[in-house]
Structure 1
Amino acid sequence: MDRPVTVGLNGTRASDAAADWGAQEAALRQRPLRLVSAWEWQPYSHTPLTGTETPEQWSRRLPRESAARLAQKYPQLVIEADQLTGPPPEMLCRAAADAELLALGSAGLGALKGFFLGSVAMSAVAHAHQPVVLVRPDSTAPGLAAQSPAREALGSKGQAAASVVAGIDLGPTTDGVLRFAFEAAAVRSAGVEVQHCWNPPVGYVQGIGGDLRWRTDIAAEGTEMVQSQLAPWKEKYPQISVEVRCEIGSPARHLIDAATHASLIAVGRRASRYWPHEPRIGHVTHAVLHHSPAPVAVIPQD
């Protein structure tokens, strides 16, 4: 059975955006779509003062209504709607375990153009063993016309889909991030932009001339290492154009800047060196999650 693209719903505008993104992604990947909501019984749960619908009934209705709405837009898409009973973070991680990826909505922070990450989303990002994609309701990423196979990777003006940006650090998450980025680019007929950035310690070099030579040398060395990592993926996906950017400076800042022209950002989440069983998002991924204007996919370490 094909692994579905799973979307977690909570009734917000952001989760509606995640459901639309998930439906497009499922159509592009030719996968089923699974819509889930999680309800946890609480000893203080009660019928609301206005109306007769309980939180459990509302949670059961939510995925069904979203499925009906998306079925009209994507009539060829296989859609499953489920209500899960238990703590939402735990239920979402369980749902992600059987999925191709898990998509969640996250509210924007107005003019800051960042994510407001609640505890449920953060827990899913930190604990899920499959990629988790955070989608904003006001995402600037170009839309994908997934209803027509001939227009799957085209925007509303018939232009090619924007690149998928992969942020790598040449560490243990690199292969996973590149795999996800190339797979996502392939179904979009898009290119891949690889970002490898390094923020040197203060006072690493002294003098303007030394600094310029050092920047040139380190950029050349970084490009060579990245190209080595990219070699098998270029061979596997020869039709995908690849752009490599090795730059000095804040990795988070460069990735956030790249997100303004990307359809998707892919970053890694590595395990802690000292506590391998404890979740660790990392400061770069954390910053990108909060401030990227495009959807962000967080790839766990294998």
Structure 2
Amino acid sequence: DPREAESEAPVLEFGFTEAARRNCGLQILHAWSFPPMYAYAQAADPGLGNELAAEIETNLERVVDPWKRRFPGVTVRTTAVAGAPGAELVYASPDADLVVVGRRERTRPVGPRLGHVAHAVIHHATSPVAVVPHP
């Protein structure tokens, strides 16, 4: 979705810029889970998960490709995993020098300023965390 790629641009830009500045590789992790309506469909067709995973991987590569061209010196590994985003980022944090997580900008003056994913990562990651606001 082009709108999603556009909204994630600040997070990707920060990650690629930091990787280039630090002269290190970058792992882009996208965690996903089945929508509740897929539970019965997956039970009936176990291959559905593989099809959905392949589509998500393809979309992830499509979003990241322009950034790879813009930062040719950064080695990039993309990974799409089925799981809760906060937990998956925390699981990946021991191997990271820095975990970069996005935070949607809030338009309402009241309410939480941090979503559950960023909150989980800040409190449980074993490496430093950068929180990048995005639309």
Query: Normalised by the size of structure 1, how large is the TM-score?
Result: 0.40
Aligned to 1:14: none
Measure how far apart 1:280 and its partner are: 3.0
For residues 10-35 of structure 1, what are the alpha-carbon distances to aligned partners after superposition, in whole Å with 9 as ceiling and x for unaligned? xxxxxxxxxxxxxxxxxxxxxxxxxx
Any stretches of 5+ residues in structure 2 without a counterpart?
none
Aligned to 2:134: 301
Aligned to 1:152: none
Aligned to 1:254: 88
Aligned to 1:234: 68
How many residue pairs get aligned? The number is: 130
Q: Matched residue of 1:287: which SS?
A: helix
Report the AA paired with residue 61 of structure 2: Q
Ranked by relative contact order (alpha carbons within 8 Å, sequence separation 6 or more), the top structure is: 2
Q: Matched residue of 1:240: which SS?
A: coil
8 Å CA contact retained: 1:269, 1:301: yes
Q: 1:231 to 1:201 in 2, by over 3 A?
A: closer
Aligned to 1:188: 22
**Distance in 1 of aligned mates of 2:7 and 2:133:** 7
**Distance in 2 of aligned mates of 1:176 and 1:213:** 35
8 Å CA contact retained: 2:5, 2:63: no
**Distance in 2 of aligned mates of 1:172 and 1:291:** 28
Check if 1:221 corresponds to 2:55: yes
Q: 1:202 to 1:243 in 2, by over 3 A?
A: same
Aligned to 1:75: none
Check if 1:280 corresponds to 2:108: no
Measure how far apart 1:217 and its partner are: 1.3
For residues 236-292 of structure 1, what are the alpha-carbon distances to aligned partners after superposition, in whole Å with 9 as ceiling and x for unaligned? 1112111111111111111001101000000111024xx445563111111111100
Q: Of residues 122, 125, 130 in structure 2, which corresponds to 1:292?
A: 125
Identity of aligned residues (%): 35
For residues 212-257 of structure 1, what are the alpha-carbon distances to aligned partners after superposition, in whole Å with 9 as ceiling and x for unaligned? 3122111111111111211221011112111111111111111001
Any stretches of 5+ residues in structure 1 without a counterpart?
1-169
Question: How do 1:3-14 residues align onto structure 2 when only pairs under 5 Å count?
Answer: none
Query: Normalised by the size of structure 2, how large is the TM-score?
Result: 0.84
8 Å CA contact retained: 2:93, 2:99: yes
Report the AA paired with residue 224 of structure 1: T
**Distance in 1 of aligned mates of 2:65 and 2:36:** 33
Question: How do 1:80-119 residues align onto structure 2 when only pairs under 5 Å count?
Answer: none
Question: How do 1:170-181 residues align onto structure 2 when only pairs under 5 Å count?
Answer: 170=4, 173-181=7-15
What is the root-mean-square deviation of aligned Cα atoms in Å?
A: 2.1
Measure how far apart 1:199 and its partner are: 2.5
**Distance in 2 of aligned mates of 1:296 and 1:232:** 25
Question: How do 1:50-65 residues align onto structure 2 when only pairs under 5 Å count?
Answer: none
8 Å CA contact retained: 1:172, 1:270: no
